[in-house]
Amino acid sequence: MNAQPRLDAKDRLIASLDNGLRALFGAYTAGRSTPKAATEPIAMSEAERRQSAALMRVNHVGEVCAQALYQSQALVCRNEQLRAHFHEAAAEEIDHLAWTRDRLQDLNSHASYLNPLWYSGAFALGALAGLAGDRVSLGFVVETERQVEQHLAGHLQRLPASDATSRAIVEQMKLDEARHAEEALAAGASELPAPVRRLMRLAAKVMTVTAHRI
């Protein structure tokens, strides 16, 4: 795990705000190369392009929210080792953010116009989870990553077969999210109550349906 400089509360807040602005306005670069498709690109119809763009826009929103969640959980966390864990996970999720942003550009589309709203809501949820304690905060990560993994599996079924590039990106994202859930479990996560898990699924449904169009 990479060591993070120890900052006081004010500096952590400033750093968190800076990271939020970077996530919202695209001031970031991937640390890993964009996953490559195993097959040569195939020309897509206009309908297929729109379908891929809508799905990748939803995936990009998910990564915007991931940044908000990890940044807010790190901000309120009192355990330095756990804070470093959240920062490392956020850094890995930057790859996903960059990959989906770049793919949207390739598809001649745009990110969700409501990203500031999604980020703010996710930041608040992450802060609440963090304030509830380390085990609950990690449990929130586990449930979030599991839901995202299921969501990405559904996108692999819905992405056009001709869009091998988007499929390669989503497949790697799915692997990464599953690993993040396992790491949070190993760090001592507690399982969230069923009503909380259902509420998280409902919130995710509202977000994905809206981001698919806007």
Domains of the chain: 44-211 (1.20.1260.10)
CA distance 144 to 52: 23
pTM of the entire predicted model: 0.84
Contacts of residue 151, defined as CB under 8 A and 6 or more positions apart, other chains included, come to 62, 204, 208
Asked if pLDDT for residue 122 goes beyond 70, the answer is yes
Residue 13: predicted pLDDT: 67
Residue 108's CB is within 10 A of a number of other CB atoms, namely 9
Q: Contact at 8 Å (CB) between 63 and 100?
A: yes
Asked if pLDDT for residue 100 goes beyond 80, the answer is yes
Contacts of residue 109, defined as CB under 8 A and 6 or more positions apart, other chains included, come to 50, 53, 54, 56, 57
Half-sphere exposure of 73 (CA within 13 A, CB side): 33
Check residues 40 and 55 and name the one with the higher pLDDT: 55
Maximum mean pLDDT: which of 69-83, 121-135, 151-165, 190-204: 151-165
Residue 1: predicted pLDDT: 43
Please provide the average confidence, as pLDDT, over all residues in the chain. 84
CA distance 194 to 143: 11
pLDDT tens, residue by residue, 55-87? 999 999 988 988 888 888 888 888 888 888 888
Residue 26: predicted pLDDT: 66
